[in-house]
Amino acid sequence: MWPISLHLHDDTRPTPDDHLAADEALLKQVDADPSRAALRLWESPTVAVIVGRSNVIDAEVDDAACHADGIPILRRCSGGGAVVIGPGCLCYSLVLPITEDHRRCGVPAVTADIMQRLADALSDDRHRIEVRGVSDLVLDGRKFSGNSQRWLRNALLHHGTVLYDFDLSRVARYLRFPSHQPDYRSDRPHAEFIANLAMPRADIAQRLITAWRAQEAQG
């Protein structure tokens, strides 16, 4: 369903705004030229709250807490709910071409295919990762990865997070209880619902690179 290999971009940028802009720029590039399909790995050097393109900030985010701590609230181009990113949260961005086969399958089937590939990549004898809800990665009933998408005419952006060494108290401080929750959450508060994946960052990155057969981009 996807290219044999992807271009790998392992990016370091000064701000989370720069990273979000890089995702949008790469999506437009692949929309114009499918041969540039890519996996981008990145980690924000500072904490930020990122909301989905349709989120109502007051409903999803504790704006007063963010303001008090100097935490920016940024909006991404894709859907989904609000997340908190920063050191200890590895982000990945898959930018993939859309074919007629993908359009015939539809967004739910395409999303399920990508999510299962991600789950398989991160699973091993100690970690049996499940896909729950629409696009969550879960271990032992607790979410460590959220994902969202943006489709253009010829390409899609699928980007997500992997909490591996994140200060989880930040989530409860900056995010309200979400206005929409997957059934498996069962009204659990943030502290009982999310968790870090007990895997080194380098291992997570290498598993994603291997799963998508990504190779270092030239130039």
pLDDT per residue rounded down to tens, the chain (219 residues): 899 999 999 989 999 999 999 999 999 999 999 999 999 999 999 999 999 999 999 999 999 999 999 999 999 999 999 999 999 999 999 999 999 999 999 999 999 999 999 999 999 988 899 999 999 999 999 999 999 999 999 999 999 999 999 999 999 999 999 999 999 999 999 999 999 999 999 999 999 999 999 998 665
Instruction: Quote the tokens at residue 42.
Output: 């990145």
Structure tokens at 104: 């015939």
Determine the distance from the C-alpha atom of residue 118 to the mean position of all C-alpha atoms in its chain, rounded to a whole number: 11
What DSSP state is assigned to residue 141?
T
Q: What is the pLDDT of residue 201?
A: 97
- Global confidence as pTM: 0.95
What does the longest C-alpha to C-alpha distance in the chain come to? 48
Q: What is the pLDDT of residue 126?
A: 83
pLDDT for the residue numbered 216: 87
* Contact (CB, 8 A) for 49 and 83: yes
Instruction: Identify each DSSP E strand in 53-106 by its residue range.
Output: 73-75, 83-85, 89-97
Q: Is residue 185 part of a domain?
A: yes
Which residues, other chains included, contact 18 with Cβ-Cβ below 8 Å and sequence gap of 6+? none
Structural domain of residue 15, as residue ranges? 6-216
Q: How many domains does the chain have?
A: 1
**Residue 140 has what pLDDT?**
96
Q: Which residues pair with 38 in a beta bridge?
A: 7, 95
Rounded (10°) CA dihedral 18, 20, 25, 30? 140
Q: Which residue has the tokens 């291992």?
A: 203
Residue 50, helix vs strand vs coil = strand
Q: Is residue 1 part of a domain?
A: no
Structural domain contains residue 121: yes
Q: Judge whether 34 lies within some domain.
A: yes
Per-residue pLDDT at 219: 53
What is the rounded CA–CA span in Å between residue 183 and residue 62?
23
Please indicate, yes or no, if residue 52 is contained in any of the structural domains. yes
Secondary structure class of 182 (helix, strand, coil): coil
Q: How far apart are CA 155 and CA 96, in angstroms?
A: 5
pLDDT at 217: 67
Contacts of residue 84, defined as CB under 8 A and 6 or more positions apart, other chains included, come to 47, 48, 49, 50, 166, 170, 171, 174, 175
Query: How far is 24 from 4, CA to CA, in rounded Å?
Result: 23
CATH number of the domain residue 56 falls in:
3.30.930.10
pLDDT at 125 (0 to 100): 87
